Homo-oligomer: A and B are copies of this chain.
Amino acid sequence: MTETVSRPTLEAVAARAGVSRATASRVVNGGDGVREPLVERVRRAVEELGYVPNQAARSLVTRRHDAVAVVIAEPETRVFADPFFALQLRGISKELTAHDSQLVLLLTEGRDDHTRVGRYLAGGHVDGALVFSLHLDDPLPELIHGAGVPTVFGGRPGWGDGARPAVYVDSDNRGGAREAVRHLVGLGRTRIAHITGALDQTSAVDRLDGFRDVMGEADPRLVVEGDFTPAGGERAMRELLERCPDVDAVFAANDLTASGVLRVLRERGRRVPDDVAVIGFDDMLPVAEQTDPPLTTVRQDIEEMGRLMARLLLRDLDRRTGKQGLDGGPAGVVLPTTLVRRASA
């Protein structure tokens, strides 16, 4: 039970293969510049001994960790109420795995956590960081910058554009919103409303901008602020019906909001899409497919976003070890969205 069967070391492998530790090390790390027969012998020794390199020892000298931190800064529980988060993680995980990198998850839940995360990143435990769910006033970017860790953001960061060029991956929130609203226009709707997301997040702002791109300033009463939650959607929809009873279409900032909208419409006896057409955003399957009627929505490929973030970061890391510089590359990558037509619009 307490038999901590001390794992074999490189030393042991070298001894068994009848070579020096240096040669054994070379083989373990790819085997370049080692003659074939020796490579073979070392490989066998590794196999027989069940040797696994001690990462701590390796990191100590290489200063690489083959690990990436994923920071999810979401004080609210929103992230946990939808599969967004899980899908991103999956995409990231796949990509990191393919590069033999480990995923260290840092969930934060308030001010204290922020300094903890800052310290961790500054401590040089990981090679880089992927950071999500930033709000406009979030202190995290500052901390991260201070930590000097290569970072890719999920979603366009909110601080003054260009002030500090950040690498990020985002969906085409604005373009997607435009497409959604144009679809409603194409349906012949004239009183098209928008229920926004939490406007301290760039995704919400961008979707609102997309709405305005098509509708102009129109009737300002047709824009109501929501918060990306079903409850927020309900509240906003009630307000909207009060302000503009003649509304005939709603573009909701996300599917969760749309589900709240649908509930209020049903409760008020408005038929969807006949009386009021509704479009969401995300194409979060468990929501969009289960609503009544099924939701027409703007799809974003969440998993691909995660994957791309990881890829960008790893590329950056590889670059730093190899040729320094080659500088920047694209600061932001924006993925396309697609309109998924179901029954609600």
Q: Give chain A's interface residues, CB within 8 Å of chain B.
A: 1-2, 5, 7, 50, 52-57, 59-60, 65, 67, 70, 79-83, 85-87, 89-90, 93-94, 97, 102-107, 109, 113, 116, 119-120, 122-125, 148, 230, 256, 259, 263, 266, 285-287, 289-292, 320, 324-325, 327
Contact = CB atoms under 8 A, between A and B. Distances in A.
Given A90-B107, A230-B290, A97 B116 contact: yes
5 contacts: A54-B123, A55-B124, A85-B86, A102-B104, A102-B125
B123 A55 contact: yes
B93 A107 contact: yes
A66 B124 CA distance: 15
Given A103-B105, A290-B230, A325 B1 contact: yes
Nearest to A126: B102
B286 A119 contact: no
A103 B104 contact: yes
Given A85-B86, A90-B80, A286-B256, A57 B54 contact: no
A325 B57 CA distance: 29
A105 B89 contact: yes
A293 to B, nearest CB: 11
Nearest to A69: B102
A2 B104 contact: no
Contact of A56 (B60, B86, B87): B60
A55 B125 CA distance: 7
A120 B104 CA distance: 14
Contact of A105 (B5, B80, B105): B105
Contacts of A124: 7, 52, 54-55
B286 A82 contact: yes
A222 B314 CA distance: 53
Contacts of A116: 97
Contacts of A104: 67, 102-105
Contacts of A53: 123
Contacts of A105: 70, 89, 93, 103-105
